[in-house]
Structure 1
């Protein structure tokens, strides 16, 4: 897959989000963007960890280039996902953007303590939400150089 952004292939993005409305808005924002990508969606932290470790139904899942992580998730919450992800030498280099409705300073501080690469608060307005997603898409896939996959 060739992207017009100059990357060899489209970005693989894992969205960990349990709110169907936010999933729809994120998909819409990426569709409107100029950067080609593949968006994979899981709805809780347990599924996210299975996707990342290629377990169960996710045995063929690709390694994502970027993870968008909500904190308030069923089963395994976002903090636990971050903790496990950043403790795994094969996965810790994947950038994680916390994209959540929480504005609590303790959530922000804790996310960075757990090595999140960015913390974004979801705007309530759908148009602002789409603009936020497009802005970080542009930054992470046009400006930033993402780490290469770690050889096993």
Structure 2
């Protein structure tokens, strides 16, 4: 697979060496998701992190309201990986999209291989979560 996401601000690989990135890319599964197709549902725990390569994904609340979007290079599923709980939202394709899925098992194995691997992946996941919190806070302030 020659999909190599490197430059996006929120990408999972931004703190990794080229060698580490190549290892995770070999383990990644690419999938084309059709418009309106769900990647994972609210209340379920996905077994993978999603990286959007192209297209756009929408984050949908349990009430069916679109509360955000995932853009190319961004990740989703990181909260489920970090805290082990079910998803608080449904993730679905806004239009035809290409995603990469990296299993939680692969990430856990990679992170446990060296403390540096663990710290670098955790930093990227934390960055992604913080950006989502900022976005949700901004939405609430706009509608207050």
Q: Please tell me the TM-score bracket, short chain as reference.
A: under 0.3
Q: Which of the pair has the greater relative contact order for Cα pairs under 8 Å at 6+ separation?
A: 2
Q: Which structure has more strand as a fraction of its residues?
A: 2
What TM-score results when the alignment is normalised by the length of structure 1?
0.26
What TM-score results when the alignment is normalised by the length of structure 2?
0.27
